Each structure stands twice: as structure tokens, then as C-alpha cells.
A and B are shown apart, each in its own frame.
Chain A
Amino acid sequence: MVPTQYYLILSAILFGLGAVAFVFKRNIITIFMSIELMLNAVNLAFVAFSQSFGKVHGQVFVLFVIVVAAAEAAVGLGIIILIQRNRQSLNVEKVNLLKL
């Protein structure tokens, strides 16, 4: 039997790596992928808690998170295509109209 804490620590490590990738990456597609990585880490924590409490509520929430991630990926990739069309670049540094 694997203790619940192991899963939670793995989830925190994956979340941290996702956050690092989100901040350090310059390619907008990779930044998007790091968001997906963070969502996955959260899902792992949900399932770990669901197993540890012996209730399936956590697994139902995982389903909702996956649905939201799918919707977000569809809209976000549409936005990325639009940015590429308007800026001819996927570098986030070039998308700075709102920057002071």
C-alpha cells in the first residue's frame, strides 16, 4: 500500500515544475502545456484524497477538471493561432500591448 503523502508530494513536485515552466518558458504553446501539467498535478491530489477518504467525490471533480481543461485547450489554441497570425511569432515577449 502506498501512503497518501507520497502521492501528495509527487503532486506538489509536478505542480512546482509546471509553475517553473510557466514562468521560464518563452514559447506560448509550451506555457499552455505547463498549465495542463499543473492541472494534472491537481488531479493526482484529488484522486489521492478520494482514495484515502474512501469516497468517489474526488474522482467526480477530476472529471469536471478534465472537461474544463479540454474547453480551455480548444479556446486557448484558437487564441494561439490568432496570435501567430497577427504577430508572426509565438514568443510571449512580442505580445506586450498591455505592458506599461
Chain B
Amino acid sequence: MNAALLIFFVLAGLAVIGALNLVLQRHPIHSALSLIVVMVCLAGLYLLMGAEFVAAVQIIVYGGAIMVLFIFVIMLLNAGEEERTDFSKLAKIAGLPLALALTASVAAAVAKSGAAVANPTDPAIPKATEQISTMLFKEFVYPFELTSFLILVAIMGALVLAQREKK
């Protein structure tokens, strides 16, 4: 087993454990912390694939900004442990098998499409970050501008939603 494969299995195992922990924990803050573990592991996998820019954005935006926002809201709302409510009978019987079936069918579909593409011999795309920036400001310049508009609308929406009602 070579080093890259070993690193992959360590990171992938940690990511799956983190995701499982997210499902099993009942306190939202524990779920949030395990989600951060998943995101950091995914950033490591991006580095392994030679996508440095995406790895950096993953850490800064996902692990930094978005998760801090989540934890901030959890603490602001003083969210306690999840209340346990009864599932319906159908969910109790069919829930887990259906979830497994979903995972298996998605895995089979993507693995089949993955088999159609060749495995690259050279791991990294040369000058990936440079290529991304060129593409972002040439080919995808209109979508890129639209995202800034989207962020603006999101900021205004969040402000309107979260402000106190005037009397």
C-alpha cells in the first residue's frame, strides 16, 4: 500500500466517523463539532488530489465562516438536547433499509460513471489555481458576478429576517 492510499483511508475513515457522529449525537453543538471534523478531512483529501485552492477555500469558508455562524446561532439560541419524539411505524420499519438502499444506489451509480473515466497517472493538474482564476474571470465571469449579487441579497434577507419587529 503506498502513502497516498494510506492517507486517503485515514482521512476517509475520519470523515465517515465524523458524519456518523453527526447523526448519532443528540446535542447540536456536538453535531457541529463533528461536522467540522468532516470538513477538515475533506480539505485534506482535496490537498491529496492536488486541489490546493479548493482545500484553502474549504478551510476558510466552510470550516471558518459557515461553521462559526452555526455555532454562534446554537449558542445564541441556547439550543439544548434534541427532544426525542416517536417515529411513525412506517419510518421505524422502512427507514434504515431505505437509507441504506439510497446510499448503495448512489454509490453504485457514481462508481459506475467513475469507472468510465481513466485514473490519472499524474495526481495534480499543473497550475490549477492559475487556471481556476483565469476561468473564473473569463469563461464564468457572468455567473461569478451573479454570485456577488446573490451574497448581497442573502445579507439583506438575513437582516430583514433577524431584526426585531417594530411596534
Name A residues whose Cβ lies closer than 8 Å to a Cβ of B: 1-21, 23-27, 29-30, 32-34, 36-37, 40, 43-45, 47-57, 59-60, 62-64, 66-75, 77-82, 84, 90-91, 93
Main secondary structure of the interface of A (DSSP, over half): helix
Name B residues whose Cβ lies closer than 8 Å to a Cβ of A: 2, 4-5, 8, 12, 15-16, 19-20, 22-23, 28, 31-32, 35, 38-39, 42, 45-46, 48-51, 53-54, 57-58, 61-62, 65-66, 69-70, 73-74, 76-77, 79, 82-85, 91, 95, 99-100, 102-103, 106-107, 110-111, 113-115, 117-121, 123-125, 128, 131-132, 135-136, 140, 143, 147, 150-151, 153-155, 157-162
CA distance A80 to B113 in the complex (A): 38
Contact assessment for B84 and A60 in the assembled complex, using a CB-CB cutoff below 8 Å? no
CA distance A15 to B20 in the complex (A): 11
Contact assessment for B107 and A21 in the assembled complex, using a CB-CB cutoff below 8 Å? no
Main secondary structure of the interface of B (DSSP, over half): helix
- Which residues of A have CB within 8 Å of B32? 29, 33
With both chains docked as a complex, state the minimum distance between the C-beta of A64 and any C-beta of chain B, in angstroms. Answer: 6
Contact assessment for B38 and A14 in the assembled complex, using a CB-CB cutoff below 8 Å? yes
Of B4, B8, B99, B158, the residue contacting A75 (CB under 8 A) is: B158
Contact assessment for A16 and B99 in the assembled complex, using a CB-CB cutoff below 8 Å? yes
Cβ-closest chain A residue relative to B21? A17
Contact assessment for B131 and A56 in the assembled complex, using a CB-CB cutoff below 8 Å? yes
Cβ-closest chain A residue relative to B118? A52
Contact assessment for A12 and B99 in the assembled complex, using a CB-CB cutoff below 8 Å? no
With both chains docked as a complex, state the minimum distance between the C-beta of B79 and any C-beta of chain A, in angstroms. Answer: 6
With both chains docked as a complex, state the minimum distance between the C-beta of A56 and any C-beta of chain B, in angstroms. Answer: 4
With A26-B83, A45-B110, A75-B161 as contacts: A37 and B22 at CB distance below 8 Å: yes
CA distance A13 to B103 in the complex (A): 6
- Which residues of A have CB within 8 Å of B2? 1
Contact assessment for B65 and A23 in the assembled complex, using a CB-CB cutoff below 8 Å? no
- Which residues of B have CB within 8 Å of A68? 147, 150
Cβ-closest chain B residue relative to A75? B157
Contact assessment for A77 and B158 in the assembled complex, using a CB-CB cutoff below 8 Å? yes
With A47-B46, A82-B162 as contacts: A59 and B51 at CB distance below 8 Å: yes
With A2-B8, A50-B125, A52-B114 as contacts: A67 and B85 at CB distance below 8 Å: no
